[in-house]
Chain A
């Protein structure tokens, strides 16, 4: 199958390794990757800020470029929810309404795609560490993806998953919320990190690089004994 890969801006610039790992996984499973290099952002930042005209303007090139794709895999639950769920609302009553609905039907968040579209859970990975998993809110509640990541991690050799309390509570990133209300965002992140540390896990895994960027920022600033890693990188680990 030819898979169109949507790489969000923060994966591109801050954690490209997550994207590279996804490419390597999908290619290893025998698929061809189509990467739209010209796309930088799904338009979620202006959408969440309430500037929907601007969000539509940012989103139109995405809609156009992905029109003919067979399947679109998004390297983030958050941007995944934007393409799959929120485009339909954003373009409701606009000429692109039908196009947004058609795109929604073929969009997949990465872990969902591997488990539920490709039917694969064992990627031959080995990661002998104690870990805990953070559910990104958009993946969890907009896309209803509680299971796929855990199904994938279950098959990773040597990996011990310890669920933290409040695994489902928000890390506090929330896009521009993180800088518009930094004190609340920081407090939420601290609560999250404390829950993660209570499990005595070495790694905090997530399918969302944006959550990890925020949490890693806190962990580094506060010199906490915890490391963050994207799930795709875990799934390409060999030891």
Chain B
């Protein structure tokens, strides 16, 4: 069955499924409300979109330079960077790493690029044990179904369906409690973090200037995947570049707002290498696979190049009336919805996938909502034009030619409309029957009734003899060759020696694609970012308000003694039997003396750490604007201490409370820029998931509780 036939079949089925329709529409309402709240906190969302779009446009226009810079910086800290021209090469690279590292068990956080290259199928066929650990992806893996929505993989399922699935596959008791369902998955997946040989992640951003990969998530599964297995592999599309770490201050809140309606996603982690000298945890090896897979072809299309600005927030799906009625699986693509309909024809063939660009009313809701201002719906139109130009449908082409030559010919128009009016009563006899040529309309809709007198008839009756229309000649309309969307300049290094490695080939493809595309470098200044991001007034009250919204605990203590007393109180209140911590000025000062402690300063046993009731860490800074904690592997006791125990407690001084995200990223850059730790993470509230009916449940994989003690 062709992709189009399958699409039509599924669309037919799901548009009639009213349960599905209600579930998706109701789910989206929760998103609209959350998004309106977060977007409302921006001082100027529209200007933020302009800044984000200019940043991405400038970054994409020198993609090759950014990728080379990323490679240099990442390699300098021991990261292995690979270049994959296509799916097959990406799989080959990953397989060779897995074989060399003698991997058997693999855990995967959410990796859309791996769906693109069908990695799971190939891994399973080769005998690997692969487990998805994002809750939604895990559920879809159990269902043997691809993600329904690239941000919300199982939003089409009810709690009952998930309960049945767990009963059948995990032999658990039925429940209609979303919290219990989340905890079933948490318990099931917990051990896998401790025992997996390799972790595979995707990435939200490639940060060229610092040689890092940034991963955005809510559950903590990606953080655990990057903390415990000995080998970490990150598969990322080459278009995900941001020039600087400071760009995150703008992009993280925009991605969260557009994606899920959160002010900032729970965990935004920048990985800067495998475990570094002096660090206590993290993978021995980290491999980053840069994936082209037709992205350079899209890059060469100057008209649609901005589709590579996409940060995969999924907002265009959420507002798309087509998506909401046909659902995500009908598309048959890795990336669903409007952006998927734009890029899939470039990735998988225009003629086979042009129907997705046709299946749109071109309403433009996607373009209006896109945080990076991709001209999504006009690109659907461009795909239609390119498809018709490349291979016109003979019948449809003929029909439009006749239409074009007659519609503005008064005589023919008149005869046609009179005929139509004459035929209308006859049409009623066959309306909506198999004989009806208009049954695509009439099956569900009444035929529009033709007026007894048309506007034109009314006009000429009224103005009989008053004036005659100018008789513009309509003959001799010429066709002109169409302008191609592609760049036609010659190759930069024509005649040069053919490139050898995939790296060289991809870089050459990028350079060729970008001829004439250069735009001046663009960096949103701190002042520009401050003018669009949510306003900050009083630091402590604002941090407190954000903490409350995030369901995090926040205690302001008068001094060190009070902070120590607060820790003792927390220990008693929560009945901690053992806590884990790292040595530091602040942690030493407040550590409850009566409690058994796992000192992780020089390392830890992962099973012992997992059994602790809380992890007490220091941090680099707190962020009033978002209620976030920012810490690094160096300041926060490594990668796992702040995410593996069920309660994360942060101790900080008042002067560590910074106003906003630009200040926080400037601060860590200044503090660590000379020698980056392998992990810098922005923690915003306790771990959470909304994967089951968009109900927020805390403690999906990471800590259920986050407590910040300030003195």
Taking Cβ atoms with an 8 Å cutoff, the residues of A that contact B are 7, 9-17, 19-20, 23, 35-41, 43, 45-58, 60-62, 64-65, 89, 92-95, 137-138, 140-142, 168-170, 172-175, 177-189, 191, 213-214, 216-218, 220-221
A89 partner residues in chain B, CB cutoff 8 A: 378
Tell me whether B360 and A13 are in contact (CB under 8 A): no
The 5 closest A-B pairs by CB, nearest first: A174-B361, A217-B445, A50-B384, A170-B363, A220-B446
CB distance from B510 to the nearest CB of A (A): 26
Give A218 to B448 CA distance when docked, in angstroms.
10
> Contacts A14-B451, A65-B470: A49 and B396 contacting too (C-beta < 8 A)?
yes
- In the complex, B326 has a CB within 8 A of chain A: yes
- In the complex, B574 has a CB within 8 A of chain A: no
CB distance from A21 to the nearest CB of B (A): 10
Give A193 to B389 CA distance when docked, in angstroms.
37
Residue of A nearest to B460 (CB): A37
Tell me whether B381 and A182 are in contact (CB under 8 A): no
Query: B201-217 interface mask toward A, CB cutoff 8 Å, 1 = contact, 0 = none?
Result: 00000000000000000
Give A168 to B36 CA distance when docked, in angstroms.
15
Those of B389-444 within 8 Å (CB) of chain A = 389, 392, 396-397, 400-401, 403-405, 407-410, 413, 417, 420-421, 438, 440-441, 443-444
CB distance from A95 to the nearest CB of B (A): 7
Q: List 25 A-B contacts (CB under 8 A).
A: A12-B417, A16-B455, A37-B410, A43-B407, A48-B381, A50-B384, A51-B396, A51-B400, A51-B404, A52-B388, A56-B479, A57-B401, A61-B408, A141-B364, A172-B321, A174-B362, A177-B360, A179-B441, A183-B11, A184-B326, A188-B322, A214-B445, A217-B445, A217-B446, A217-B447
A61 partner residues in chain B, CB cutoff 8 A: 408, 472, 474, 477
- In the complex, B244 has a CB within 8 A of chain A: no
A56 partner residues in chain B, CB cutoff 8 A: 477, 479-480
A17 partner residues in chain B, CB cutoff 8 A: 451
With A40-B409, A51-B388 already in contact, 12 other A-B pairs whose C-beta atoms are closer than 8 Å: A35-B459, A40-B413, A43-B407, A45-B403, A50-B387, A51-B396, A58-B403, A64-B472, A93-B482, A141-B367, A177-B360, A182-B444
Residue of B nearest to A214 (CB): B445
B456 partner residues in chain A, CB cutoff 8 A: 7, 12, 37
Tell me whether A20 and B455 are in contact (CB under 8 A): yes
A50 partner residues in chain B, CB cutoff 8 A: 381, 383-389
> Contacts A52-B385, A92-B483: A137 and B363 contacting too (C-beta < 8 A)?
yes
Number of A-B contacts (CB under 8 A): 226
Residue of B nearest to A36 (CB): B469
A48 partner residues in chain B, CB cutoff 8 A: 362, 381, 384
Query: Which of A65, A170, A179 gathers the greatest number of chain B CB atoms within 10 Å?
Result: A170
Tell me whether A191 and B325 are in contact (CB under 8 A): yes
B470 partner residues in chain A, CB cutoff 8 A: 36, 65
Tell me whether A43 and B444 are in contact (CB under 8 A): no
Give A50 to B361 CA distance when docked, in angstroms.
13
- In the complex, B176 has a CB within 8 A of chain A: no
- In the complex, B450 has a CB within 8 A of chain A: yes
B480 partner residues in chain A, CB cutoff 8 A: 56, 93-95
CB distance from A230 to the nearest CB of B (A): 12
- In the complex, B100 has a CB within 8 A of chain A: no
CB distance from A22 to the nearest CB of B (A): 10
Give A31 to B324 CA distance when docked, in angstroms.
45
Within the complex, which residue of A39, A52, A92 is in contact with B408, where a contact is CB–CB below 8 Å?
A: A39
B82 partner residues in chain A, CB cutoff 8 A: none
- In the complex, B597 has a CB within 8 A of chain A: no
Residue of A nearest to B411 (CB): A38
- In the complex, B68 has a CB within 8 A of chain A: no
Give A38 to B473 CA distance when docked, in angstroms.
11
A218 partner residues in chain B, CB cutoff 8 A: 444-446
CB distance from A168 to the nearest CB of B (A): 7
Within the complex, which residue of A23, A49, A95, A217 is in contact with B388, where a contact is CB–CB below 8 Å?
A: A49
Query: B356-372 interface mask toward A, CB cutoff 8 Å, 1 = contact, 0 = none?
Result: 00111111110110000
Give A187 to B12 CA distance when docked, in angstroms.
10
CB distance from A97 to the nearest CB of B (A): 10
Give A51 to B586 CA distance when docked, in angstroms.
69
> Contacts A12-B456, A16-B451, A41-B408: A181 and B358 contacting too (C-beta < 8 A)?
yes
Tell me whether B446 and A180 are in contact (CB under 8 A): no
B16 partner residues in chain A, CB cutoff 8 A: 183, 187
B383 partner residues in chain A, CB cutoff 8 A: 50
Give A214 to B363 CA distance when docked, in angstroms.
15
> Contacts A51-B396, A174-B361, A188-B321: A41 and B453 contacting too (C-beta < 8 A)?
no
A189 partner residues in chain B, CB cutoff 8 A: 445
Tell me whether B469 and A179 are in contact (CB under 8 A): no
B325 partner residues in chain A, CB cutoff 8 A: 184, 187-188, 191
B451 partner residues in chain A, CB cutoff 8 A: 13-17
Residue of B nearest to A211 (CB): B361
B477 partner residues in chain A, CB cutoff 8 A: 56-57, 60-61
CB distance from B127 to the nearest CB of A (A): 42
> Contacts A58-B408, A187-B15: A141 and B455 contacting too (C-beta < 8 A)?
no
A170 partner residues in chain B, CB cutoff 8 A: 321, 361, 363, 365
B397 partner residues in chain A, CB cutoff 8 A: 51, 54
CB distance from B77 to the nearest CB of A (A): 46
Give A191 to B392 CA distance when docked, in angstroms.
34
Within the complex, which residue of B363, B448, B479 is in contact with A53, where a contact is CB–CB below 8 Å?
A: B479
- In the complex, B449 has a CB within 8 A of chain A: yes
Residue of B nearest to A52 (CB): B385
Within the complex, which residue of A19, A55, A180 is in contact with B455, where a contact is CB–CB below 8 Å?
A: A19
